[in-house]
Amino acid sequence: MQVKVNRVNLAYNIYGSGRPLVLLHAFPLNRAMWKPQVSDFSKKFHVITPDFRGFGDSQRTRQPYFMETLAEDIHALLKKLGITEFVLGGLSMGGYVAFAFYRHYPEMVQALILADTRAEADTEEGKKNRKALADQAIKEGPRAIAEMMTPKLLGKTTLAKKPRLVKQVKELISSNSVTGIANASLAMAFRADSNPLLPQITCPTLILVGDEDTLTPVALSENLHRNIKNSQLKIVPQAGHLSNMENPKAFNQAVKEFLKKM
């Protein structure tokens, strides 16, 4: 499905009925990464999986933007769908957008699911790497980014034992646009430190992280857990940064248990 928000056509899928659950994808993937979750979660929830602008089937925009822009797109999409309260889940960049959303619209968020993400802003070196990645995407295209990033995104177990998933992730990244990848990389470099926000988060929060995640190692999730009062931390075994795809069984179980208590 597509809807025009903030002058951009945004693609999204909707499944099931019940309490709304919005799932925000990682960089440089798109809403297809939630495939292992939707059939399971849609038995009890009204699951909404949007593509951020520039990703998947959403429209590309040339102008640079911020994490807040992506949060505003999600807000406008939910407004069009008539959804005022919901559970917000985000993995990695999806988590950065979830922080930006919570900063502006905390009253809409009934619960948060923060997977393989971090509160910290980029270091100076990290910012340089974002610019280098954006330049590489423009010069060499999404396939080169897929080859470069997939070994970092996936855990050692997946890389050694799940060649089909490795291929699938590469294809997913390669299907995205150069503009989408380059702009999001720069937008992440500009994002704010969300540490000051953590003590202000009052809703029930589930923090998930793959035990083999090297991009956002477990210690960063422990920091989230320490500073978000009403939070619990679940480590997803034998999974890297894309914990929802690498160990969907453990990931889904943790989410369902968390949501059952609500």
Contact footprint for ligand MLT (CB under 6 A)? 26-27, 92-93, 188, 215, 241
User: Least CB distance from residue 236 to ligand MLT, whole Å?
Assistant: 14
Residue type, 159: L
Q: Which is nearer to ligand MLT, 26 or 254 (CB)?
A: 26
User: Least CB distance from residue 184 to ligand MLT, whole Å?
Assistant: 8
Full strand arrangement of the beta sheet holding 86-91: 2-5, 8-15, 45-50, 19-24, 86-91, 109-115, 205-210, 231-236
CA distance 153 to 207: 18
Q: Are 149 and 240 in contact (CB under 8 A)?
A: no
Bridge partners of residue 207, in order along the sequence: 114, 233
Q: Which is nearer to ligand MLT, 93 or 108 (CB)?
A: 93
Element housing 218 (H / E): helix 218-227
User: Least CB distance from residue 158 to ligand MLT, whole Å?
Assistant: 14
User: Least CB distance from residue 36 to ligand MLT, whole Å?
Assistant: 16
Nearest-Å Rg of the Cα atoms of the chain is 17
Q: Which is nearer to ligand MLT, 46 or 133 (CB)?
A: 133
Compute how many other C-beta atoms are within 10 angstroms of the C-beta atom of residue 90: 26
Q: Which is nearer to ligand MLT, 103 or 127 (CB)?
A: 127
Q: Which is nearer to ligand MLT, 93 or 113 (CB)?
A: 93
User: Least CB distance from residue 71 to ligand MLT, whole Å?
Assistant: 15
User: Least CB distance from residue 229 to ligand MLT, whole Å?
Assistant: 25
Q: Are 15 and 223 in contact (CB under 8 A)?
A: no
* Of residues 230, 234, 238, the one with CA closest to residue 262: 230
User: Least CB distance from residue 134 to ligand MLT, whole Å?
Assistant: 12
Q: How far is CA 168 from CA 148, 153, 159, in A?
A: 15, 12, 12
Q: Which is nearer to ligand MLT, 20 or 240 (CB)?
A: 240
Compute how many other C-beta atoms are within 10 angstroms of the C-beta atom of residue 84: 11
Q: Which is nearer to ligand MLT, 46 or 51 (CB)?
A: 51
